[in-house]
Amino acid sequence: MIQQLIFYPLIVQMLLAIVLMFVWSRIGWQRVISIVGSVLNLGVAVWLFISVWQNGTQAVQAGNWEAPFGITFVADTFAATLVLLTAIAGLAVSSFSAGSVISPRLKFGFFPIFHFLLLGLNGAFLTGDIFNLYVWFEIIIITSFVLLTIGGEKAQLEGAVKYFTLNVLASIVFLTAIAVLYGLTGSLNMADLASKVAAVENRTLVQVNALLFLVGFGIKSALFPLYFWLPASYHTPPSAVSAIFGGLLTKVGVYALIRVFTLIFEVDPFLENVLLAIAVLTLFSGAVGAIVQNNIRKIFSYLVICHIGYMIAGLGMMTEAAIAGAIFYIIHDIMVKTNLFMVSGVIYKIKANHNIKKLGDFYADHPKLSLLFAIPLFSLVGIPPLSGFWPKLSLISEGWNTENFAVIAAILFASFITLFVIVKLWGEVFWKTGAKLPEVRNFPYFNKLSKFRKTQMLAPIIFLAFVTLYLGFGAGNIQSLAERIAFELMDNQEYINTVLRK
């Protein structure tokens, strides 16, 4: 009973998607079912998290096939935390889409696909089998293609072509890596691979294989030379879709990187240097890219790339405290990025424009909303005591301890540029006296929406803002959570023993 709990987040999302397909053209029903189902899913995720927190890592063998022969699902603290964050972000975005996505788009099956995406995310976090991870990744990318293209605008299709090509290429590289790994070891179970990869004699091939995984996951998590699909596509779909993409999709890549390089492959000094160099360049190029953009969502897209650098820096330093910093940053980043893209959606609904040069007067017109939007914006910058500050602190102090001064410089540079970009955005959008924008005909302006729709759009932003505030003010709790995850990742015996029932 208690072990089957691991499957519940998957079952809830899958049932939701199936039920939603039965009411395909009834938008009203879909909105209600999606939100109620997401609340249910949040409950299940909290249950799983509490159970893992109290009882430690749990594993369940699908179909009762003993590991390493069957497919294992594992919930350690890292996976349970990410499932919980997915549930929180999923609930927020579900409510936001119910309020903001126009009904012609909803009629093309927006909600069923959205829940299949969440199913894929939960599956990717919980699986303990490397080929199963590939399958979940495919579910994630197929559903994300559909969400990206629903509506069929010119920009969406162009963005989708780029997004599609690079993500499929990443999948093929990932599949190649799995093929080589299977050829080397003859196993697919990640816990079993840990000891088998260590025993392989041909170390060169193992290193090549590790780099293949790095490239495959690197494209998905938008690392330095492989990120160009992200700013070309994330600003094209509706803001609700950008929110779930910006919050969660790149983080699945980071999750897979952290999992593979802590569990399966030993990170040697060469790989460590590669990861650190990539982290520095990602921080640098994402930050510089964000400075020159004028489209709000493009700015946030580049900031997504930039902040992936922090997590990879934490992974590259490979000490327990550095990984704890990276984990804390992932927790903070999922909440804040989801919220920021929703904020950009509300700004767009009010002003019908994305260009910060043309926007203005927001603070004068909507002072309360501006104060609300300030919370995620300045959390992202990491002004103490808001949530972005604490993980950066541990990353910088770990960089000092391990004498990676280039990493410290890049982290400080990226933080400074983030501050500059957000202050610029604040000045342009909120404080500047803007020219009057021409009224767009047939545009669903925010003021014309019913009060209920407005609540559906603003409630998730308030909800995530409170979560972000908790991450900042309750940083002690989050830090101890991150330290426990880092300890479990670095000392992976508990994971392996739970899966293989030693």
Q: Which residues bind other proteins (CB under 8 A)?
A: 131, 134-135, 138, 141-142, 145-146, 149, 152-155, 157-162, 164-165, 168-169, 171-172, 175-176, 178-180, 182-183, 186, 188, 231-233, 235-236, 292-295, 355
- Distance of closest approach, residue 190 Cβ to other proteins, in angstroms: 15
- Residue 374 makes CB contacts below 8 A (sequence gap 6+) with 426
- Distance of closest approach, residue 18 Cβ to other proteins, in angstroms: 18
Q: Compute CA distances 496 → 2, 75, 180, 193, 442, whole Å.
A: 20, 12, 22, 10, 58
Q: How far apart are CA 343 and CA 378, in angstroms?
A: 13
- Distance of closest approach, residue 63 Cβ to other proteins, in angstroms: 14
* Residue nearer to other proteins on the CB measure, 59 or 71: 71
* Residue nearer to other proteins on the CB measure, 42 or 141: 141
Burial of 457 (C-beta count, 10 Å sphere; 0-12/13-18/19+): buried
* Residue nearer to other proteins on the CB measure, 98 or 188: 188
- Distance of closest approach, residue 209 Cβ to other proteins, in angstroms: 11
- Tell me how far the alpha carbon of residue 394 is from its chain's centroid: 21
Q: How far apart are CA 10 and CA 60, in angstroms?
A: 13
* Residue nearer to other proteins on the CB measure, 23 or 161: 161
- Distance of closest approach, residue 246 Cβ to other proteins, in angstroms: 16
Residue type, 458: L
- Distance of closest approach, residue 106 Cβ to other proteins, in angstroms: 19
- Residue 294 makes CB contacts below 8 A (sequence gap 6+) with 355, 356, 357
- Distance of closest approach, residue 295 Cβ to other proteins, in angstroms: 6
- Tell me how far the alpha carbon of residue 167 is from its chain's centroid: 15
Angle at 368 between CA 365 and CA 373, to 5 degrees: 100
Q: How far apart are CA 193 and CA 182, in angstroms?
A: 9
Is 274 within 8 Å of 267 (Cβ atoms)?
no
Say which DSSP state 185 is in: H
* Residue nearer to other proteins on the CB measure, 154 or 368: 154
Is 379 within 8 Å of 475 (Cβ atoms)?
no
Say which DSSP state 246 is in: I
* Residue nearer to other proteins on the CB measure, 167 or 404: 167
- Distance of closest approach, residue 121 Cβ to other proteins, in angstroms: 17
* Residue nearer to other proteins on the CB measure, 153 or 491: 153
Locate 256 and state its tokens.
């897979």
- Distance of closest approach, residue 104 Cβ to other proteins, in angstroms: 16
* Residue nearer to other proteins on the CB measure, 51 or 294: 294
Locate 223 and state its tokens.
């690392």
* Residue nearer to other proteins on the CB measure, 41 or 209: 209
Which sign, positive or negative, has the C-alpha torsion 417, 418, 419, 422? positive
Of 79, 83, 103, the residue nearest 91 (C-alpha): 83
Q: How far apart are CA 87 and CA 122, in angstroms?
A: 9
